[in-house]
Amino acid sequence: MSAETLIRVDNVGKKFCRDLKTGLWYGVRDLVSEFTGSANSGKQHLRPKEFWAVDDISFELKRGECLGLIGRNGAGKSTLLKMLNGLIKPDKGRIEMNGRIGALIELGAGFNPILTGRENIYNNGSVLGLKKKEIDGLLEEIIDFSEIGSFIDTPVQFYSSGMKVRLGFSVAVHMKPDVLILDEVLAVGDSGFKMKSFNKINEIMREAAVIFVSHSMPHIATITNQVLLMEAGKSAFQGDDVALGIDKYFSHFSGTDPKIEFNGLAQIKHFAIIPSHRYAQEKEEHPLIDYREDIEVDIHLSIDRSVADFHIKLQITDKDLKIVGIYDSFQFQEAVSNDREEHKLRITLPQSIFIDGEYAVSVFIQNRNVETKRMNILGLYRYWQKFKMRASKGLGVVPAVVYLPGTISNHSLAEISETPTKTLKTL
Amino acid sequence: MEKRIYTPESNIQRPWIMLRDMLADMRRGQDLALRLTIRDIKALYRQSFLGLLWAFIIPIANTLTWIFLNSSGIVSVETTALPYPIYVFTGTMIWAIFMESMQAPLTKTTQNKSVLAKVNFPREAIIMSAVYESVFNACIKGLILIVAVIALGYAGGWSMLLFPVALLAIILAGTTIGLMLTPIGTLYADISKAIPLIMQFLMFTAPVVFTIPAEGKAAWIIRHNPLTPLISTARDWLTGGAPEFLNGFWLVTAIFAVVFLLVLIAYRLAMPILIERMNA
């Protein structure tokens, strides 16, 4: 029971047309060939202005597995899902779906806006092939989970987007699907509901095959056990090394290209991050830092004469463009006085505890206005230098920003007699 | 466990499997269709002060127009067995039933575009709900007609029992023609724009407000309009006239029944292609 293959996708492709009018005309021609049954001859070829929105995708999914489908906007993820759900036909290849399919393709979709929440539950249920009695039995549970409460008898058109998602998700997961397709549905909904949803997905996964589309990599990392990275319709990465897939996904972004945002009063002449000793010989594009080694930064600056002194702030962002750490010299020392043509500085950030991955450092050179107590930016070099963290001891990818160091000490029995009193006091 | 296979091949190459799936979907979609119909009808009248009255305000207004045109001599209609006002009133009411059932499939499909594009449910439910709504509308208009002819003393006696059969035949014809236009109509707005034009032409070439002339080109066209036997038989059964086109009525109904099945299949085949282009 646990190992049966529920989804089998073989070399599936789908064409789309760039031009609306041409697309409509192709639609008419497709209709004709569909009716005459002579469809196949031309289907494999692209007609003018067409492109493959999904190209040659294959995978299999068994009960108990969760596939994370990732890729940039327009990579073909939703098109693939629509084919899996039988809404549109593939232009090549073959899709086999087994069992009951629960799909949440788009926010609030599947609901008839003029029907009430309760009526929509029955509609969705009957569409999925459930008898009225079965739905009666699930109704309470669905309403409870969705936290809709007394709004269940209000037409869905008056629901907030969060309520629609909650109800849609609740219906989809309670219908006991064999295959569950979730497209970017947890983006809305408050964090409490998100948590609840993840737990529910984990619960369902034991008895179903789940396809999960999300742009939130922490979500992907938490619940999927294999990923398919799509890029312009094609599979760019596929496998059960979720961390590697996520890494590949991020490497497609050019959003972290170095950029000088402002350098009117301060210019960086030289900037380098010193790789850890252990990795010094490795030919990597970016310097490699070992977990719990110091990050050492060499920075050569020239500052405009009108500025008396300055501070340096380093802002470290991960691939999600999330700021994961900030160093600001203002916190630790007096301003560096601007007493020379070129400053040759070294900044040491001791014992970096970032998890494995690629990071970018943005450099802020600023000086503090004593009267207003505000920082004036003299120079801002965005994503100026990248570096990579790599734990030589192999901590693995964890869903965290930092990997906290710590110690365990083993108290002897004699010492324990003292500690309880301490604990009690702090309580 | 249910197994579904999607391939580029047209399902028409396995007609029996497709028919079986279609019947299963119609059964599965019944509930949904009924619920959609009830809701749509409610919604139709909820935001309207006159509500159901609209069902016969328009035919009565039409009737008055034609009575005026006829009595003022702008158009002159050959004498009919029935008084002209009753002839026009029954004609426009029956015509309205036909028109509504013809527009229903395309309207319903366009209305439900977004749901169709995102949820996999039996597509036949849309068509069934269109038919249900047409039947509902026909019931109201049919009742009004029956009450009217009895009140005016032109009731047809026992043949009135056959009147609902004629109405069903008209709904069948309307739905079939409407369904035929739906696939292209969802792609191109031209169809819905052209429908009023076509309807006007059809109305003037059927015995709705004009009677059938004894001879001439117009007579030939009207006699060969497939809607003529339907409309005139419905009216004859209602008012007790001798049905002139009885054979034609059964023949046309049978043909429409067969064509209806074919376009239903076509609709099913067309839906994935339409959905793909709807999004485009």
Q: What is the pLDDT of residues A353-394, one digit of tens each?
A: 998 888 999 999 999 888 888 888 898 998 899 999 988 877
Whether the pLDDT of residue B255 is over 60: the answer is yes
The verdict on B119 touching A (C-beta cutoff 8 Å) is yes
Q: Is B214 an interface residue toward A (CB < 8 Å)?
A: no
Cβ neighbours for A379, distance < 8 A, ≥ 6 positions apart: A262, A263, A264, A265, A266, A267, A268, A301, A363, A364, A365
Q: What is the mean pLDDT of residues B210-216?
A: 79
pLDDT band at A418 (very low <50, low <70, confident <90, very high): low
Per-residue pLDDT tens for A241-275? Answer: 887 888 788 777 656 788 888 888 899 999 999 99
CATH 2.70.50.60 fits A259-390, yes or no: yes
Domains in chain B: how many in total? 1
B185 touches chain A (CB under 8 A): no
Of A31 and A70, the structure prediction assigns the larger pLDDT to: A70
**Rounded to whole angstroms, how far apart are CA atoms A233 and A77?**
8
Mutate to test the interface with A, among B3, B10, B109 (most CBs of A within 10 A): B10
* Contact call for residues B189 and B267 (beta carbons, < 8 A): no
Query: What is the mean predicted confidence (pLDDT) over A231-241?
Result: 90
- List, as ranges, residues 48-107 from B with C-beta within 8 Å of A: none
Give the CA dihedral A87, A91, A94, A98, nearest 10 degrees.
0
Angle B258-B260-B262 (CA atoms, 0-180°, nearest 5)? 75
Residue A397 pLDDT exceeds 70: no
Of the candidates B117, B148, B156, B178, the one whose C-alpha atom is nearest the C-alpha of residue B234 is: B156
User: CA A179 to CA A169: how far, in whole Å?
Assistant: 14
A8 vs chain B: nearest CA distance in angstroms?
A: 9
Q: Name the residue among B3, B183, B280 with its Cβ closest to that of A23.
A: B280
**Domain, as residue range, for B187:** 32-279
Q: What is the pLDDT of residues B180-208, one digit of tens each?
A: 999 888 888 888 888 888 888 888 888 88
Inspect the interface and report whether the beta carbons of A88 and B272 lie closer than 8 Å: yes
Residue B162 lies in a domain: yes
If phi > 0 it is left, if psi is from -120 to 50 it is alpha, else beta; for residue B234 that is alpha
Q: Does the residue B90 lie in any domain?
A: yes
Could you give the percent of chain A with pLDDT greater than 70? 90
Q: Give φ, ψ of B195 to 5 degrees.
A: -55, -50
Q: Over range A395-409, report the average pLDDT.
A: 82
Q: Examine residue B38 and state whether it is found in any structural domain, yes or no.
A: yes
Superfamily of domain A5-251: P-loop containing nucleotide triphosphate hydrolases (3.40.50.300)
d(CA B174, CA B172): 5
In chain A, domain spans:
5-251, 259-390
Q: How high is the pLDDT of residue A394?
A: 73
Q: Could you give the percent of chain B with pLDDT greater than 70? A: 96
Does B10 score more than 70 pLDDT? yes
ipTM over 0.90: no
Please give the average per-residue pLDDT across A300-325, as a whole number: 90
SS (H, E, C) A163-201: HHHHHHHHHHHHCCCCEEEEECCCCCCCHHHHHHHHHHH
pLDDT of A426 reads 43
- Kindly report, residue by residue over A38-58, the tens digit of the pLDDT: 655 556 788 888 889 999 999
Looking at residues B236-246, what average pLDDT do you find?
Answer: 88
- The pLDDT > 90 percentage for chain B reads 29
Any idea which residue has 């589309």 for tokens? A213
Report the distance separating Cα A41 and Cα A38, nearest Å: 7
Local confidence band at A424 (pLDDT 50, 70, 90 cut-offs): very low
- Does this model's pTM top 0.90? My answer is no
Q: Is residue B13 part of a domain?
A: no
Q: Is the CB of B12 less than 8 angstroms away from the CB of A37?
A: yes
pLDDT, tens digit, for every residue of B146-191? 988 898 888 888 889 999 999 999 999 999 999 999 988 888 888 8
Nearest CB to A90 within list B7, B115, B121: B7
pLDDT for residue A244 = 81
Of A54-63, A409-418, B167-176, B256-265, the least confident = A409-418
- Nearest C-alpha in A relative to B37: A115
Q: Quick check: B10 and A106 CB within 8 A?
A: no
Residue B280: the pLDDT is 41
Closest C-alpha among A325, A345, A326 to residue A335: A345
